Structure 1
Amino acid sequence: MAEDGDRLLIIVVDRDDDLGVKTGISGPVVGREANLDAA
């Protein structure tokens, strides 16, 4: 986990769109809360 004041950038490319196919969520999914909701 990042320490206070540190920033962390994670980029994931869903090339086969399995997130969209299985869940109906269209990308991009941006932000912490949106990613938690999509999980």
Structure 2
Amino acid sequence: MTAQEKHIIETILADIGLEPLFIGENDCDKPERVVKTT
């Protein structure tokens, strides 16, 4: 995952109120979390 992709995902999650779930997480290590929330 590129930095740009991570930023886009975080922006979307923030917009729908889920961004706090990803604070402190490494999205590259848990791609399934991205899939479940989209």
**TM-score normalised to the size of structure 1?**
0.37
Structure number with bigger Rg = 1
Structure possessing the higher relative contact order (Cα contacts under 8 Å, 6 or more residues apart):
2
Higher helix share: 2
